[in-house]
Every structure is written in C-alpha cells, then in structure tokens.
Amino acid sequence: MTAGMRQRRSAARPAGRFVAGRSAVEVDATLQRAIRAHQGGDLDAAEALYQQVLERNAVQPDALHFLGVLCHQRNRSDEAVEWMQLALRLMPKHPDAHNNLGNVHKECGRLKEAEACYRRALELAPDHYNALSNLAVVLEAQKRGDEAFEAYAELVTKAPDYANGYYLFGTFLREYAQNIEHVEQSAECFRQAARLDPENTRALEGLSISLYALGRRDEAAAVYRDWVERDPDNPVPRHMLAAHGGNATPTRADDAYVRQVFDRFADSFDEQLIRYLDYRAPQVLLDAIGKVVGVPRAALDILDAGCGTGLCAPLARPYARRLVGIDLSGGMIGKAQARGGYDALEEAEITGYLQAAPSSWDVVLSADTLVYFGDLDEVLAAAFAALRPGGTVAFTLEAMDGDADTLELSSSGRYRHSRRYVDRVLATAGFVQAAVTEDSLRKEMGVPVRGWVVVARKPPT
C-alpha cells in the first residue's frame, strides 16, 4: 500500500464510524446512485459517490469492490487490487468479487494470480460460468492446452445457453486443432453461438473461417451472403464476402469496416493477445527499426500509424522525442490513452493524415495495419512525403508466396503481398536502402503467420 493510498483511506473512512437508521438508508441510496453512474459510464461521478459512501461507512464492501473495478477501468490497477482485496477481507465468500479481482490480474498479465482467483470463485459457486470462462482463458494463455480444453468443455456443459462460451470454445478448437475433427467441432460451436445470439457477429465470422479451413468455401461465402442480405449496410459482411470470393476485391479495406471491427474488439483486443502469446509484430518491427536508427536517444519524432491499443508505445518511447499515435478506431484510441506513453493520440485515417503533414516525421511505423491495404502505392507515397530527409518508414505485411508482382485478399479479411510487389512499390515511392525480411508475426490455427518486416529510408537530400 502506498502512502497516498493510506492517506486517502484515513480521510475516507474514519475509525469507529457507525452507520444506523436514517444514515444507513442514505448510504444505500448513495451507493445505488454510484452504481447507476458507473453502469452509465460516468466514472467521475461514480468515483465521487463511492468515496461518499466510504466516508459514511468505512467498511461498505460493495463500495470497496466496485471502486476497485472502477480504478482498474481508469488504469489504476494496483490501487484496484488494494480496494478489492479489502472488500474480500470483509466478504470472503463473494464469488463475483473473486472473479473481478481475477480479471484485474489477468488483464495485467498476472496469470497465476488470476487463476487462483477464478478457482476460489468456483469453489464458492461451482456454476459461476464467467469465472469458468475466465479460468479457461488463463489456462490457455499459460499453454496448458489439455486443462483449457477441459475447462471450455465444462463451460458449455454447465452453461448451455451461454453464447460466448461456445464462441470461446470454437476459437480454441480452431486455433489449437490437432486434427480435422477439431476444426469441424469449432464450426459447430460457432454455429451454436450464432443460434443463441444472432447479434454475435464474431460467431458468424468464426463459422465462416472454420468452414473455409475445412475446404467448404461455398458454405463459408454463404454465411456472409446471408448476412449481407439481412444487413446490407454493414461493411463487415460485405468485406468478408469479398475475402471469400463472393464480391469484387476492393483495393483496400473500407474505413467503415476497419473502424467497426476494431471498435468492437477494443475491449477484448489485448486479452486476445494474451490468449495467443505468439503475437510478435510490434517487437520484431521495433527490433528492425533499431538496426537502422541506432541506439535509443529520445531524439526522434515518431508516428505510430495504426497504433491500436498502444502496444508499440513502450518499445518506441526510448527512441522518441515526440511519439504520436493515430488510429481509425476511437475504441482503440481510448485503450491506447489508458496504456499511456504517447505525447498525443488522434482518431484519423492514415493516408489522409500523412498527406496533411509533409516533412514532419523522422520515423513512420505501422505494425499490422497495412495488412488492411491492398494497393500500397498511395499510402507509401504519403509516408515518403511526410518523412523528413533521411527519415525511416517501417511496417509489417503478411507474406504471399511466389515470384509474381501481386497481392491477394485472404479469407481472414487481410491482404497478402508478394516480395516483388513490396520491392516495386517502395522503389516507386522513392525509398532507398530497403530491407525486407521474413518473420513470424503471430499464429493462426496453431500455424505461424509469415510476414514481411520492412524498413526503408527516404534519401537524405
């Protein structure tokens, strides 16, 4: 516990305060107002109201518990743990509180501590399907596949109407498939998730991907075709239908598609990376940049183009005098803001942003963002103009086999580019000293995704 926390607790909960009668009614009313504000997203008001409750009743366990949840939402996770542990000393048999404390540990990467919390919640409430779902996730993240399989199987048995349980189990089965039967089972899980929750579009995507992996391409395309007919203005099924050969291939993913996909995944994006720990694009990209720009001296103006939740920030920060992140997704920008490390963050489309800022940057980096661009000519021309003389562009792409100068839209909804294509567009834009190396960026269905790690320079004059 920090000194600051001790001072706040002393001020908030004077020793010996006793609440009874009318005061107890007022405390409960204030707590309910706090919970409503919290659920409505007004975190400032909710925090002030929780503190008011604790000024009147120093040991109100629900206020302590929910204040801990709120602190984690505000990226004050260490403080959150302290509040929640205090709440659990007062109500040690509260499974929801154990589960929520586990969530804090999980999202901070403390998987063993998270596992212990979830197991305690399940001891108290064996049918607590949220705790069981979370336990399966952290077992998977620790690469304890057999135990994770058993937990997911138990989840869909105990909670047969829980759509997200089938979605998670389907994803696990596909990503770690050891035989074709596992992929078939994943398709059935996604199908059941979609039946239970017709609004669960991730289940529809998962179903189509599994069908495509099984070679049932017509069925995969039919999933998206039916979706387009039901929701013709939705950019997600339109793009994915093209990715499965049912529409003409666009030159790049539509802004609305990218924004919707990543806004939807913003809250779970980092958890997905925890589950699939082989995600390496930010690290391999910054390693490649370091070989070109030299030792970190905090002297460069760097643009993180497509910053997502900010995974590149701690890696790029030592090189940066100024570090700015941009992303189409407001949800992702919010997560990057909470993570910290940037001097500024902005919701913006990459090409237009670069075109509006000539000769502004020493480095433009983009980890796993240009995979949503087919034609790279315009965005690389914009990057060239936005760099100062001698500046560096660095990005990752998914690799396409063969010697042809070409690209393709894959069934994942992302583009792949051939090495010859990459070399040509870099030269056309004016870049020199291009280094294009092959590396694994992440895994899909248990198989490494091959990618190009590209670093090139703008001539010094």
Instruction: Judge contact between 122 and 132, C-beta under 8 A.
Output: yes
| Structure token digits, residue 177 | 């498939």
pLDDT band, very low/low/confident/very high, at 14 (cuts 50, 70, 90): very low
Instruction: Judge contact between 232 and 225, C-beta under 8 A.
Output: no
pLDDT band, very low/low/confident/very high, at 20 (cuts 50, 70, 90): low
Percent of the chain with pLDDT strictly greater than 70: 92
Task: Find tokens 């990226």 and name the residue.
Answer: 75
Crossing angle of the two packed helices 61-73 and 21-39, in degrees rounded to 10:
20
Q: 265 vs 371, which has greater pLDDT?
A: 371
Tell me the average pLDDT across 345-371.
97
DSSP three-state, residue 236: helix
pLDDT of the residue at 8: 36
The rounded distance, in Å, linking the Cα atoms of 332 and 236 is 18
The rounded distance, in Å, linking the Cα atoms of 370 and 380 is 10
Task: Find tokens 């405390």 and name the residue.
Answer: 27
What is the DSSP secondary structure assignment for residue 419, as one 8-state letter? H
Of 398, 315, 329, the closest CA to residue 363 belongs to 315
Cα-Cα-Cα-Cα torsion 49, 53, 55, 58, nearest 10 degrees, comes to: -140
The rounded distance, in Å, linking the Cα atoms of 237 and 333 is 24
pLDDT of the residue at 19: 52
Reply yes or no on whether the pLDDT at 342 is more than 90. Answer: yes
pLDDT band, very low/low/confident/very high, at 53 (cuts 50, 70, 90): very high
Residue by residue, DSSP assigns 45-75 as HHHHHHHHHHHH-TT-HHHHHHHHHHHHHTT
| Structure token digits, residue 78 | 């260490």
Residue by residue, DSSP assigns 421-439 as HHHHHHHHHT-EEEEEEEE
pLDDT of the residue at 264: 79
Of 68, 74, 54, 76, the closest CA to residue 99 belongs to 68
pLDDT band, very low/low/confident/very high, at 56 (cuts 50, 70, 90): very high
Tell me the average pLDDT across 438-452.
86
228-282 confidence digits (pLDDT tens): 988 899 999 999 999 988 778 999 999 999 998 888 776 666 566 555 557 889 9
pLDDT of the residue at 268: 64
Reply yes or no on whether the pLDDT at 5 is more than 80. Answer: no
CA angle 200, 205, 211 (to 5 degrees): 130
Instruction: Judge contact between 286 and 316, C-beta under 8 A.
Output: yes
102-132 confidence digits (pLDDT tens): 999 998 889 999 999 999 999 999 999 999 9
pLDDT of the residue at 247: 77
* Four-residue CA torsion sign, 33, 16, 97, 330: positive
Average pLDDT, the chain: 91
pLDDT of the residue at 248: 85
Tell me the average pLDDT across 313-337.
96
Reply yes or no on whether the pLDDT at 15 is more than 70. Answer: no
Tell me the average pLDDT across 322-350.
95
Of 353, 391, 397, the closest CA to residue 375 belongs to 397
Where helices occur in 159-294 by DSSP H, the ranges are 163-175, 180-196, 201-213, 217-230, 235-243, 255-265, 269-275, 281-293
Q: What are residue 227's phi and psi, to 5 degrees? A: -65, -45
- Going from the N-terminus, what domains does the chain have, and what CATH number goes with each? 3-144 (1.25.40.10), 161-248 (1.25.40.10), 272-457 (3.40.50.150)
pLDDT of the residue at 338: 83
The rounded distance, in Å, linking the Cα atoms of 75 and 58 is 24
User: For residue 344, what are the β-bridge partners?
Assistant: 324
pLDDT of the residue at 297: 95
How far does Cα 284 stand from its chain's mean position?
18
pTM score, two decimals?
0.75
pLDDT of the residue at 458: 98
